[in-house]
Amino acid sequence: MTSEPATGEGESNASETAVTDAEDSSTEQDDADDVVDEDDDDSEDAEADDSDDDEDDEDDEDDEDDEDDEDDEDDEDDEDDEEDRLVEEGEIAGDYLEQLLDVLDFDGDIDLDVDGDRAVVSIDGGDDLAKLVGRKGEVLDALQELTRLAVQQATGDRSRLMLDIARWRADRRERLARLGTEVAERVRDSGEREALDPMTPFERKIVHDAVAAVDGVISESEGAEPKRRVVVIKVD
């Protein structure tokens, strides 16, 4: 007897194998798609992070610019406040000196100004104003101190106000500047140090500034007040 092959069973096994392979292939494709999706998500997240970082950097730069602008504005405000304070000092001093001139029966025009970190008050144009200057500016120095005290009493702050009468300080400044330059040039040429007459701190500063403008020499202050003086020395 001839036996027939079991075609039905073989075909069923082959069909199941094909279905299994197809499912495996589909699963692998799904996994691959998931990987691609995950990569795309990671890429989008990275781009989002980069974008956030860029925005943070821009925000930081904006904050720094804002801080710089605020600092500049604060500096300008401080300068304006300081100038306003000095102007106020000058006005208080002007009122005080006007009353003082009336009491002393002196005529003069009062001019108010600001020079660096000082209020400056000048009295000019009147007769006999030299009497308010005195010998070597002694009376002027006393009036300046009285005016500073009047300003301090009104504001509560110590004043460094400068008072000039009949251009005595202005002329003195010019003479001292010329003296400082002449002595500095002489010391530079001779090589020998020179000591000047005793001066006030204000006068010494004028001489120091004039000497500093000449190459090859320096200036120092020696001695104790009121006999402290400027010494000019040659340097290599």
Show the domains of the chain with their CATH numbers.
76-166 (3.30.300.20), 170-234 (3.30.1370.50)
The pLDDT profile of the chain, 236 residues, written as one tens digit per residue, is 444 444 444 444 444 444 344 444 444 444 444 444 444 545 455 455 555 555 655 666 666 666 666 666 666 777 788 999 999 999 999 999 999 999 999 999 999 999 989 999 999 987 789 999 999 899 999 999 999 999 999 999 999 999 999 999 999 999 999 999 999 999 999 999 999 999 999 899 999 999 999 999 999 999 999 999 999 999 98
**How far is it, in rounded angstroms, from Cα 194 to Cα 188?**
11
pLDDT at position 54: 56
pLDDT at position 17: 42
Closest CA to 216 of 231, 194, 193, 234: 234
**How far is it, in rounded angstroms, from Cα 44 to Cα 37?**
10
Query: CB neighbours of 227 closer than 8 A, spacing ≥ 6?
Result: 198
**How far is it, in rounded angstroms, from Cα 115 to Cα 77?**
18
CB 163 within 8 A of CB 143: yes
What does the DSSP 8-state code read for residue 213?
Answer: T
DSSP 97-162: HHHHHHHHT---EEEEEEETTEEEEEEES-TTGGGGT-GGGHHHHHHHHHHHHHHHHHHSS----E
